[in-house]
């Protein structure tokens, strides 16, 4: 299957070649999403509220996105890496205009999307929008079926930087696949850099195993599993599903293309503090796109600090771009690890027991990274739930940590400085036996 045509300046071409060599699987060649995209997306928190008379602060309107853009730029979110302000479903007028073009609801978006994009850009941020491959969006607004080029051009003319492309109301699997491919080609054809977020595998899965080699050629990230809810049950189901399917998912991810386990719901109503820590830690381990769906106008300082934790974000954004995986599941503990660049590893211990108090987990360091993560020694820093430098460990050591019920301890294991120097000088560290 041929990918979209490549017309890139030499610098981007070099980047793409490097990316392909590193990941081993060809990615969409638009030069975007070399690390998982980060931003804010309205859906989980604001759904399809269209009555601004009744819900002036929570309806899907240009005011909502402008307010989020103001806060993203002024309260540390942009500096932490959150860049895309994304509109989800329910932004459109119920019908296209007389030329067949999409238009925003004139009451809720009186200035139009182009002006909104200008506003978002003036804050140093980017704008995302939503459409659907079928005849209607999931909430019943006009879909893109049969108008992929026109809609891609409309989005490009408006200055849109990301498209979330849903898969509702598509009448056949052929149309689904063709539609996702055609929209990718149409976006590329506009010449504008537009991140392409797909739900292709999610809509395919009930009928067919997705072909991730192909999906990666067309999409920058893709949803595999149902919609996230603001609940621990939902987080657990996403983690369990991802772990059960990790053999096909992990190798599909890499610079340019990512598995998307859906939005971060930290800062809302349904998760305890420990469960919010678990979501942040595991979304970092899974190399997930980080799109918050919360109300940045009213968020606790604790949730804000968690979402803006630079060291955890650095794990999520690690340039090696390898997705982590569940290493073991025993005695009510799930153990996850993720290889990072520079001989570093991230490790998450999740306490799945929902009765009692904190439980002690004893981790033989020799099990990590196929025996290599702490070989012959490593410096361990605990990043979550609280930061602590735990010190230098040898690969025969056992690390013991207390983990709250439904909470997670997130660790970073680094090779000591001399091992890294040896590696960069071409010599591998000698194991101490």
Q: Please, what is the minimum distance in Å from the beta carbon of residue 336 to ligand GLA? A: 24
Q: How many CB atoms lie within 10 A of CB 305?
A: 10
Positions of E strands within 172-228: 195-198, 221-223
Is residue 227 a contact point for ligand GLA (CB under 6 A)? yes
Residue listed under structure tokens 């050629």: 217
Q: What is the C-alpha to C-alpha distance for residues 373 and 109, in angstroms, rounded to an integer?
A: 52
Among 88, 274, 334, 375, interactor with ligand GLA by CB under 6 A: 88
Cβ(261)–Cβ(286) under 8 Å? yes
Q: Please, what is the minimum distance in Å from the beta carbon of residue 263 to ligand GLA? A: 8
Residue whose CB is less far from ligand GLA, 128 or 256? 128
Residue whose CB is less far from ligand GLA, 199 or 414? 199
Among 166, 295, 334, 337, interactor with ligand GLA by CB under 6 A: 166
**By CB neighbour count within 10 A (0-12 exposed, 13-18 middle, 19+ buried), where does 17 fall?**
exposed
Residue whose CB is less far from ligand GLA, 130 or 345? 130
Q: Please, what is the minimum distance in Å from the beta carbon of residue 40 to ligand GLA? A: 14
Cβ(215)–Cβ(201) under 8 Å? yes
Is residue 148 a contact point for ligand GLA (CB under 6 A)? no
Q: How many CB atoms lie within 10 A of CB 222?
A: 27
Among 89, 161, 337, 375, interactor with ligand GLA by CB under 6 A: 89
Q: Is the peptide bond before 215 cis (omega within 30 degrees of 0)?
A: no
Q: Please, what is the minimum distance in Å from the beta carbon of residue 90 to ligand GLA? A: 7
Q: Please, what is the minimum distance in Å from the beta carbon of residue 298 to ligand GLA? A: 22
Q: Please, what is the minimum distance in Å from the beta carbon of residue 17 to ligand GLA? A: 33
Q: Which residues contact 99 (CB under 8 A, 6 or more apart)?
A: none
Q: What is the C-alpha to C-alpha distance for residues 66 and 73, in angstroms, rounded to an integer?
A: 11
Q: Which stretch binds ligand GLA (CB under 6 A): 134-142, 288-296, 396-404, 408-416?
A: 134-142
Q: Please, what is the minimum distance in Å from the beta carbon of residue 307 to ligand GLA? A: 19
Q: Which residues contact 100 (CB under 8 A, 6 or more apart)?
A: 147, 150
Residue whose CB is less far from ligand GLA, 129 or 303? 129
Residue whose CB is less far from ligand GLA, 88 or 105? 88
Q: Which residues contact 211 (CB under 8 A, 6 or more apart)?
A: none
Q: Which stretch binds ligand GLA (CB under 6 A): 136-144, 181-189, 232-240, 276-284?
A: 136-144
112-122 and 148-158 helices cross at what angle (nearest 10)?
50
Q: What is the C-alpha to C-alpha distance for residues 307 and 267, in angstroms, rounded to an integer?
A: 9
- Sign of the dihedral defined by the CA atoms of residues 138, 140, 144, 146, in that order: positive
Q: Write each residue from 188 to 207 as x if it is in contact with ligand GLA (CB under 6 A), else as -, in one continuous string.
A: -----------x--------
**By CB neighbour count within 10 A (0-12 exposed, 13-18 middle, 19+ buried), where does 151 fall?**
buried
Nearest to 324 by CA among 197, 398, 410: 410
Among 64, 139, 252, 282, interactor with ligand GLA by CB under 6 A: 139
Q: Please, what is the minimum distance in Å from the beta carbon of residue 362 to ligand GLA? A: 39
Residue whose CB is less far from ligand GLA, 225 or 345? 225
Residue whose CB is less far from ligand GLA, 161 or 260? 260
Task: Provide the 3-class DSSP secondary structure of residue 326.
Answer: strand
Cβ(384)–Cβ(401) under 8 Å? no
Residue whose CB is less far from ligand GLA, 32 or 138? 138
Looking at the annotation, which residues are catalytic? Answer: 166, 227
Among 43, 212, 361, 395, interactor with ligand GLA by CB under 6 A: 43
Among 138, 156, 378, 379, interactor with ligand GLA by CB under 6 A: 138
Cβ(110)–Cβ(62) under 8 Å? yes
How many residues of this chain interact with ligand GLA, rule: CB under 6 A?
9
Q: Which stretch binds ligand GLA (CB under 6 A): 57-65, 132-140, 211-219, 418-426?
A: 132-140
Residues that bind ligand GLA (CB under 6 A): 43, 88-89, 137-139, 166, 199, 227
């Amino acid at each position: 299957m041929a990918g979209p045509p490549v017309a890139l300046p030499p610098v981007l071409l070099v980047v793409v070649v490097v990316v392909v060599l590193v990941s081993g699987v060809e990615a969409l060649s638009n030069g975007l999403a070399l690390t998982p995209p980060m931003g804010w997306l309205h859906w989980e928190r604001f759904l399809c509220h269209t009555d601004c008379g009744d819900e002036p602060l929570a309806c899907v309107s240009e005011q909502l996105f402008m307010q989020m853009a103001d806060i993203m730029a002024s309260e540390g979110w942009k500096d932490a890496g959150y860049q895309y302000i994304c509109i989800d479903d329910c932004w459109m007028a119920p019908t296209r205009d007389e030329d067949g073009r999409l238009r925003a609801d004139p009451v809720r978006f009186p200035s139009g999307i182009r002006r909104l994009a200008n506003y978002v850009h003036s804050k140093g941020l980017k704008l995302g929008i939503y459409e659907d491959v079928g005849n209607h969006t999931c909430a019943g607004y006009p879909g893109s079926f049969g108008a992929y080029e026109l809609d891609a051009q409309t989005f490009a003319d408006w200055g849109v930087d990301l498209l979330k492309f849903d898969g509702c109301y598509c009448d056949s699997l052929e149309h689904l696949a063709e539609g996702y491919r055609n929209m990718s080609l149409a976006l590329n054809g506009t010449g504008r850099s537009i991140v392409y977020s797909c739900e292709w595998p999610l809509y395919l899965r009930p009928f067919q195993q997705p072909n991730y080699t192909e999906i990666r050629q067309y999409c920058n990230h893709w949803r595999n599993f149902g919609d996230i809810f603001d609940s621990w049950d939902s987080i657990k189901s996403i983690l369990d599903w991802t772990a059960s399917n990790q053999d096909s998912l992990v190798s599909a991810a890499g610079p340019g293309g990512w598995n998307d386990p859906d939005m971060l719901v930290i800062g809302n109503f349904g998760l305890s503090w420990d469960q919010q820590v678990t979501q942040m830690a595991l979304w970092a381990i899974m190399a997930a796109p980080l799109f918050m769906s919360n109300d940045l106008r009213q968020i606790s300082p604790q949730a804000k600090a968690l979402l803006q934790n630079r060291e955890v974000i650095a794990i999520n954004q690690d340039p090696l771009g390898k997705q982590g995986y569940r290493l073991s599941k025993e005695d009510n503990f799930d153990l996850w690890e993720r290889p990072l660049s520079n001989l570093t590893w991230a490790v998450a211990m999740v306490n799945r027991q929902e009765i009692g108090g904190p439980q002690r987990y004893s981790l033989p360091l020799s099990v990590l990274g196929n025996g290599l993560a702490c070989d012959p020694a490593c410096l361990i820093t605990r990043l979550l739930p609280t930061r602590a430098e735990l010190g230098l460990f040898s690969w025969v050591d056992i690390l013991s940590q207390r983990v709250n019920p439904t909470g997670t301890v997130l660790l970073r294991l680094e090779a000591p400085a001399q091992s890294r120097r040896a590696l960069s000088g071409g010599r591998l560290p000698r194991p101490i036996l």
